[in-house]
Amino acid sequence: MSVIRVSSLLLVLTVVACASQPPAGQSTVGAVLPKPVTLPSGTDGDITPGGPILPGGQTGQPQPLPDTRPPLNPNLPKSIEGSGAAAPVISLVKAARASLKAGRTDEAGASLERALRIEPRNPWIWQALSSLHVVTQKGEQAESEARKSNSLGRRNPYLEVENWRLIAEARKLRGDQAGAEAALDKHQDLQRFIAP
């Protein structure tokens, strides 16, 4: 065992020992916190509510927001079948599609909820839930689910293109025509991105 390894081990042990101390009265741990830059003022200061946050805490000015999200990644899977989802999840989503086609929306919902319990962060399941709720006319829920799918989708254009279509449908259901058109624009942009 090298010297570095031994010293590493000692350091780790020290860290563990530190971590097991009781929290009361501890102000800082490790090297993360700086020493206080100002000493406490009087113990009974008469400070007005909403007092200032120290200038050190200033944050950047809001800038005109370019799309700072990572670029769309066209190499991501095009459907749940190619996404590496677990076999039970794929069969449940397929079962849900079949139920939905046959008009058995309750069964479709139950299958998707089972799938979600297995892979709660699978964006394809969230998308399938959204399309179910567009069919059952639950606009608000459908939009939330499509948004969640987008958020979990890691910039997958194949997911997003359908999610924006669903968001447009969901907004139409709620009578938000302008919102629906904006969503449809995004949907069309994405369509052009996928098949220019």
Could you say which residues in the range 127-156 bind other proteins, by CB under 8 A? 129, 140-141, 143-145, 147-148, 151, 154-155
Interaction with other proteins in 87-106: which residues (CB under 8 A)? 87-88, 91-92, 106
**Cβ neighbours for 100, distance < 8 A, ≥ 6 positions apart:** 108, 131, 132, 135
Q: How far apart are CA 40 and CA 115, in angstroms?
A: 54
* Nearer to other proteins (CB atom), residue 56 or residue 103: 56
Q: Which of 84, 80, 157 is nearest to 112 (CA)?
A: 80
Tokens for 42? 């009087």
Q: Is 44 helix (H, G, I), strand (E, B) or coil?
A: coil
Q: Is 69 in the site for other proteins (CB under 8 A)?
A: yes
CB within 8 A of 32, min separation 6: which ones?
A: none
Q: Is 75 in the site for other proteins (CB under 8 A)?
A: no
Number of residues that bind other proteins (CB under 8 A): 81
CA–CA dist 139, 132 (Å, integer) = 10
Stretch that binds other proteins, among 23-31, 74-82, 170-178, 185-193 (CB under 8 A): 23-31
Residue number, 81 or 140, with CB nearest to other proteins: 140
Give the binding range for other proteins (CB under 8 A) out of 68-76, 165-173, 174-182, 185-193: 68-76
